[in-house]
């Protein structure tokens, strides 16, 4: 009975982590897109949560559906509710940062898990005629409050480049839009301090750096 109880707790935590309730009411209130609206939904983790869509792209029908701390699997689990149900023209997917352990255990490569979850999302998008833009994971400078920032950030950035290479292959093979945040932001194999306040997330300067490339990619993808 103890094992069953423990498994039930684990299952509940996994479901709770998906947070299907997070945007449920907002999705209901949003309603269907207007004719010729070209709605764009951004889905991801805290890297997406922080994206200031209203200030960077005023008056554009851009919808943020990021949730802090989520893995690619948790993002994929709510893709239907938080993307498909909103009937966008385009979905911008940024997922996988939380699949990469802060300790970067070299024995654990999350690339296959991330790829599988990306494929789940993009397959569903194609079924519903939603155009896809995949984004590479940005580099990190260090983890917040990290006692060994240089070692750990270097290891994370190595793993990040491996994941990004695989994501780019998916985008190329499936003819998805590809937006390489990593290349836009990286200097000396790390995220520059001017683009982050905590070593991990982008600050206003970081978002300003990627904004014109993001807008251009969305415009191009809309026209395809």
pLDDT of residue 101: 66
Nearest Cα to Cα of residue 109 among 155, 47, 46: 155
pLDDT of residue 16: 55
Task: Give Cα separations from 198 to 7, 103, 158, 195, 203 (angstroms).
Answer: 35, 17, 19, 9, 9
pLDDT of residue 86: 97
C-alpha–C-alpha distance, residues 94 and 133, integer Å: 9
Residue 16 · residue 27 · CB < 8 Å:
no
What CATH number has the domain spanning 2-223?
A: 3.40.50.1110
What number of other Cβ atoms are within 10 A of residue 169's Cβ?
12
pLDDT of residue 112: 93
pLDDT of residue 37: 92
Return per-residue pLDDT of the chain as tens, 224 residues.
433 333 333 333 455 567 887 899 999 999 899 998 999 999 999 999 999 999 999 999 999 999 999 999 999 999 999 999 999 999 999 999 999 865 545 567 889 999 999 999 999 999 999 999 999 999 999 866 665 555 578 888 999 999 999 999 999 999 999 999 999 999 999 999 999 999 889 999 999 999 999 999 999 999 87
pLDDT of residue 108: 73
Global pTM value: 0.89
C-alpha–C-alpha distance, residues 149 and 171, integer Å: 32
C-alpha–C-alpha distance, residues 133 and 53, integer Å: 16
pLDDT of residue 219: 96
């Amino acid at each position: 009975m103890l094992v069953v109880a423990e498994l039930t707790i684990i299952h509940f935590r996994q479901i709770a982590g998906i947070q299907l309730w997070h945007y449920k009411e907002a999705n209901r209130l949003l309603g269907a897109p207007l004719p010729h609206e070209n709605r764009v939904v951004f889905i991801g983790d805290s890297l997406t949560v922080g994206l200031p869509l209203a200030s960077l792209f005023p008056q554009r029908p851009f919808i943020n559906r990021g949730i802090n701390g989520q893995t690619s699997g948790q993002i994929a689990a709510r893709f239907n509710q938080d993307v498909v149900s909103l009937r966008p023209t385009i979905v911008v997917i940024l997922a996988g940062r939380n699949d990469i352990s802060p300790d970067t255990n070299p024995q654990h490569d999350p690339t296959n898990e991330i790829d599988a979850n990306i494929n789940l999302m993009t397959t569903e998008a194609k079924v519903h005629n939603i155009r896809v833009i995949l984004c590479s994971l940005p580099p990190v400078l260090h983890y917040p409050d990290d006692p060994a920032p240089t070692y750990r950030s270097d290891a994370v950035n190595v793993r990040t480049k491996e994941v990004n290479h695989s994501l780019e292959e998916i985008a190329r093979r499936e003819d998805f839009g590809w937006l390489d945040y990593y290349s836009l932001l990286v200097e000396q194999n790390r995220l520059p301090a001017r683009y982050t306040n905590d070593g991990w997330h982008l600050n206003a300067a970081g978002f300003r750096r990627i904004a014109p490339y993001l807008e251009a990619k969305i415009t191009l993808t809309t026209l395809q």
